[in-house]
Amino acid sequence: MAAARGLLIGYFRHTPLFTSTTKMATSVLERFWNHFKHKTGNVIGMIHLRATPGSPKSSHTVNEIIDIACREAQIYKDAELDGVMVENMHDIPYLHTSKVGPEVTSVMSVVCKEVKKIFSHGPVGVQVLAGANREALAVAKAAGLQFIRAEGFVFSHVADEGMMNACAGDLMRYRREIDAEDIMVFTDVKKKHSAHAITADVDIVNTSHAAEFFLSDGVVVTGGATGQAANIADVKAVLGGVTIPVLVGSGVTCDNYHLYRQAHALIVGSDFKFSGNWQEEIDPARVNAFMEKVKQVRHIPVESTMIM
């Protein structure tokens, strides 16, 4: 009996599961490339919404929030970015997951719909802080977006807002429930602004493996905080460890873009702002300079700028 069980386990490990995983990974990459026009090094610009109604720093009407977001989307469109993502970054201090109220998701749905009208030629995504991943899916569904960024997808960590537990099972079932399987879910691994002592024995590659196994459409590697560069060795390890898209989620600048261009996409916020500060306004000159550098680097073979 034990021998038969061993043969059966070996069969499933080495035959159908491997084939299925390979096909699934291929389809994930193909879907990514259906939205993003470059194989690697796609640039996603952040739209940090002004504080939404009810948050402590709220000082704009909904129409003003929409107008500012649309102006920023137009800057990114004019500079020929590959994608944009909307985030309620100014809603500090952030609410924890399900405590995010309908006043946030309703405003973000309206804003995202208007942003998508402007940035209609490329993918638009959304993240709802903090850890409000179901809400982000709902916003993306309502606004016709192409992706969300989700935190706390696999394993647990301690964030500024408190304990964040894995949500993959619930989130992916909710995506199916609302018929939103066309929306990609990019997932943070070893997320910034968080303590990971409770998973210190699970490195970033194994965390990424778990995210891939739990049907993530791409993993996001970051530095320790907003604006801090991701560890190049971590990015390289994850690129070599998974077969789904790898995104860099913090600290990408005009000066270091070439170091990260192997990643499938780079999410840029702080470097597009005046003084490189995420709390400032977007500086069109910085955006244009960044994209000019990107165009120059894209003419260089990837091997010449490969992360070593």
Residue 10 in any domain: the answer is no
- Count the alpha carbons within 13 Å of 20 in the hemisphere toward its beta carbon: 9
Residue 9 in any domain: the answer is no
Question: What distance in Å separates the CA atoms of residue 290 and residue 79, rounded to the nearest whole number?
Answer: 9
Task: Please report, for the domain that includes residue 241, its CATH number.
Answer: 3.20.20.70
Residue 109 in any domain: the answer is yes
pLDDT one-digit tens code per residue, 251-281: 999 999 999 999 999 999 999 999 999 999 9
The dihedral built from the CA positions of residue 202, 194, 278 and 71, taken in this order, carries a sign that is: positive
Q: What are phi and psi of 87, to 5 degrees?
A: -145, 140
Residue 200 in any domain: the answer is yes
Which residues, including other chains, have CB under 8 Å from residue 81's CB and lie 6 or more apart?
43, 44, 45, 122, 287, 291
pLDDT one-digit tens code per residue, 173-194: 999 999 999 999 999 999 878 8
CA 226 to chain centre: 13
Number of domains in the chain: 1
Residue 104 in any domain: the answer is yes
Residue 34 in any domain: the answer is yes
Q: Is 0.85 topped by the overall pTM?
A: yes
How confident is the model at residue 258, as a pLDDT?
96
pLDDT per residue as tens, the chain (308 positions): 444 444 433 433 444 433 445 556 669 999 999 999 999 999 999 999 999 999 999 999 999 999 999 999 999 999 999 999 999 999 999 999 989 999 999 999 999 999 999 999 999 999 999 999 999 999 999 999 999 999 999 999 999 988 999 999 999 999 999 999 999 999 999 987 889 999 999 999 999 999 999 999 999 999 988 889 999 999 999 999 999 999 999 999 999 999 999 999 999 999 999 999 999 999 999 999 999 999 999 988 776 554 54
Residue 108 in any domain: the answer is yes
pLDDT one-digit tens code per residue, 152-164: 999 999 999 889 9
What is the domain extent for residue 171?
22-305
Question: What distance in Å separates the CA atoms of residue 293 and residue 10, rounded to the nearest whole number?
Answer: 50
Residue 266 in any domain: the answer is yes
